[in-house]
């Protein structure tokens, strides 16, 4: 079973990627957050024909701007296991998916979702092994409840970053228990306890939730309540997944909630999933100072499982729709040169580790 001490000893072995000249200075840390990743299904033939670099070819330069890339892995990576009976959609990807994530630069993936247990404990065990073999860290699922709730802890430019992930979606029997593998349940008492446990050990705490309703473009009341609570309990950033479409951005007490980042690379075809984004979040010291959004076309009828960076009127329209949706939270992107940006004034003195 993982422990915080073990996590520290393992993670310190990882080094930050080589950075380009135009990237943030050493006192800044940038996180690239993306939406749902499902590299099986109709994506897999493209991986096998064109290689693991194929899905991320156009977006990789933007991911390389970040010190850490994180996304929601929406399926197990395995060739073992039996599909859960009675479930309409059961998802699984082959081992090449882990290679693709590695080559794209993913350092952390979240596993707390409604598909991670589609092929049972054997497939989850393989997923953890395939990710680990490719140097990718994961949180939100494990071989028992304690394991599923363990954070990923990494060192970046002398800063300690902690990542936690939780599911609030059916089926509930995918949730881990004391004797059952599965995903970390997003019960408020678990979220609060886990944030407060890791907070003294981390400069930044990032929490991901699998929540909301599929194809719903507005966050539900419980998402807003829990997102606010997570930040009040000590998180620095909240990321959301599950709706497969973009939801609002909210700045809450100077910290960001991205209620849903939509799909990123997802092995299905639908005209309901059209637009997504890469979210580039820059922290100076312990404080969020810049939010940048890179709009994407993710309609697989058009892009064939390779997200396309939007420009011109299409980019303006996508970013404008985010602003329209986010008006109720009084959060607004400044749209310029095909990007949406929020600049936050850094405080005179950053917060110290573990304090508020």
Task: Report CA-CA distances (Å) from 255 to 100, 212, 238, 258, 281.
Answer: 31, 20, 8, 10, 11
Please report whether residue 294 resides in a domain: yes
Decide: helix, strand or coil at residue 318: helix
Helices (H), the chain: 4-11, 44-50, 60-63, 96-104, 120-133, 145-148, 188-198, 221-232, 300-303, 312-326
Give strand pairing partners of 28.
Answer: 284
Please report whether residue 355 resides in a domain: no
Please report whether residue 349 resides in a domain: no
Please report whether residue 65 resides in a domain: yes
Of the chain, the percentage scoring pLDDT greater than 70 comes to 90
Give the up-direction half-sphere exposure of residue 121: CA atoms within 13 A in the CB hemisphere.
Answer: 11
pLDDT per position as a tens digit, 327-340: 999 999 999 999 99
For the chain, how far is it from start to end, CA to CA, in angstroms? Answer: 30
pLDDT per position as a tens digit, 317-327: 999 999 999 99
- Pairwise CA distance, residues 324 & 220, whole Å: 17
- Pairwise CA distance, residues 88 & 214, whole Å: 14
Please report whether residue 161 resides in a domain: yes
**Mean pLDDT, the chain, whole residue set:** 92
- Please say if the pLDDT value at position 39 is more than 60: yes
Closest residue by Cα to residue 139 from 184, 97, 105, 99:
184
Structural domain boundaries, residue 239: 4-15+24-343
Give strand pairing partners of 15.
Answer: none
Q: pTM, whole model, 2 decimals?
A: 0.91
Please report whether residue 350 resides in a domain: no
Please report whether residue 86 resides in a domain: yes
Handedness of CA 196, 202, 204, 208 (dihedral sign): negative
**Can you tell me the mean pLDDT for 66-70?**
98
What's the pLDDT at 347?
61
Please report whether residue 348 resides in a domain: no
CATH number for 284: 3.60.21.10
pLDDT per position as a tens digit, 178-234: 999 999 999 999 999 999 999 999 999 999 999 999 999 999 999 999 999 999 999
pLDDT per position as a tens digit, 102-147: 999 999 999 999 999 999 999 999 999 999 999 999 999 999 999 9
Number of domains making up the chain: 1
Closest residue by Cα to residue 149 from 201, 203, 107, 185:
185
Decide: helix, strand or coil at residue 292: strand
- Please say if the pLDDT value at position 15 is more than 60: no
Of the chain, the percentage scoring pLDDT greater than 90 comes to 88
- Please say if the pLDDT value at position 6 is more than 70: no
């Amino acid at each position: 079973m993982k422990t915080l001490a073990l996590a520290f000893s393992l993670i310190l072995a990882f080094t930050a990627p080589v950075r380009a000249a135009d990237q943030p200075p050493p006192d800044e840390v940038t996180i690239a957050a993306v939406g749902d990743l499902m590299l099986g299904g109709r994506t897999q033939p493209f991986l096998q024909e064109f290689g693991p670099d194929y899905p991320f070819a156009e977006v990789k330069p933007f991911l390389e701007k970040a010190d850490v890339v994180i996304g929601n892995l929406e399926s197990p990576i395995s060739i073992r296991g039996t599909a859960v009976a009675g479930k309409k959609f059961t998802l699984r990807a082959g081992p090449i998916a882990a290679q693709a994530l590695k080559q794209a630069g993913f350092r952390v993936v979240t596993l707390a979702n409604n598909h991670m247990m589609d092929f049972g404990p054997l497939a989850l065990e393989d997923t953890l092994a395939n990710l680990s073999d490719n140097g990718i860290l994961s949180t939100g699922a494990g071989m028992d409840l304690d394991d599923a709730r363990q954070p990923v802890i990494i060192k970046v430019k002398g800063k300690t970053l902690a990542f936690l992930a939780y599911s609030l979606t059916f089926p509930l029997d995918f949730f881990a228990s004391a004797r059952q593998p599965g995903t970390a349940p997003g019960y408020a008492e678990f979220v609060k306890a886990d944030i407060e446990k890791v907070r003294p050990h981390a400069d930044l705490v990032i929490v991901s939730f699998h929540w909301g309703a599929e194809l719903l473009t507005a966050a539900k009341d419980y998402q807003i309540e829990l997102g606010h609570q997570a930040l009040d309990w000590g998180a620095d950033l909240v990321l959301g997944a599950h709706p497969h479409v973009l939801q609002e951005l909210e700045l809450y007490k100077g910290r960001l909630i991205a209620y849903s980042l939509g799909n990123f690379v997802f092995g299905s075809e639908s005209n309901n999933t059209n637009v997504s984004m890469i979210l580039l979040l820059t922290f100076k010291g312990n404080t969020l100072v810049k939010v940048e959004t890179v709009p994407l076309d993710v309609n697989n009828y058009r892009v064939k499982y390779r997200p396309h960076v939007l420009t011109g009127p299409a980019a303006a329209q996508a970013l404008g729709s985010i602003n329209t949706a986010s008006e109720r939270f009084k959060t607004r992107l400044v749209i310029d040169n095909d990007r949406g940006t929020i600049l936050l004034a850094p405080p005179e003195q950053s917060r110290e580790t573990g304090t508020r």
